Amino acid sequence: MIPDEDTEQTPVVTDLGGATALSYRKARNIAARLYKKADADDKKVISGMISDCEFVEEWLVTGRRPGNKRGVERRAAYQRERLVDPLRMQAYVQQNSAGSPANLSDWQLFQIEDALSTLSPRERECYTMAHGQCFSRSQIAKYLGITKDSVTEYVERAQIKIGRAINESLFLNEN
């Protein structure tokens, strides 16, 4: 269709392919060229298109939502992962031998000892009190004479070290 001189031009539709970072970059460049030629009302709409393209392009390139300081792979990992089964950890700390189903085999005791051996004495103390004896962070802080933030830091560092030990140890992989 050829537009008349009195009517508005028909828009040209360009297929940019699939939703890839390159296609969004091309769309952003096309929108930027149109922005330079547009009037004030159209510039508002086109600038929204440009920012949307930049947003999606960054998301596709980085693999995470733009503007977030931390990716989902790092966010609250200590809340999502159970590095050591809480029942096993409690049985390890209590070391009782009554007929409880929470009793540990020698192999399970060895696995827990191996994971805990990577911790500093303070990290081990805070971690076993938090996960083995189920004390709150404030109770641990009061008992050890340190701040609650320090307890949180020790427990988080211990969880990171135990997670690393589980991934790297030949003894800690489940059979």
Full pLDDT tens readout for the chain, 175 residues: 444 455 556 666 777 777 788 888 888 898 899 898 888 888 888 888 888 888 888 878 877 777 766 555 555 544 445 455 565 666 666 665 544 545 667 777 777 788 888 889 999 889 888 888 888 898 889 888 999 999 999 999 988 888 777 777 665 555 4
Distance CA 34, CA 41 (A): 13
The pTM is what?
0.43
pLDDT in tens, 113-149: 888 888 899 998 898 888 888 888 988 898 889 999 9
pLDDT in tens, 5-17: 555 566 667 777 7
Distance CA 130, CA 136 (A): 6
Q: Following DSSP, what letter does each residue of 127-163 receive, concatenated? A: HIIIIIS---HHHHHHHHTS-HHHHHHHHHHHHHHHH
3 DSSP 8-state letter: P
List strand residue ranges (DSSP E) for 33-150, in order.
Answer: none
Q: Following DSSP, what letter does each residue of 4-38 receive, concatenated? A: PSSSPPPPPP----SS-HHHHHHHHHHHHHHHHH-
3-state SS, residue 80: helix
Q: State what percent of residues in the chain have pLDDT above 90.
A: 7
Distance from the Cα of residue 60 to its chain's centroid? 17
Nearest residue to 21 via CA among 69, 46, 66, 53? 53
Q: Give the CA-trace dihedral at 102, 106, 110, 113, to 10 degrees.
A: 50
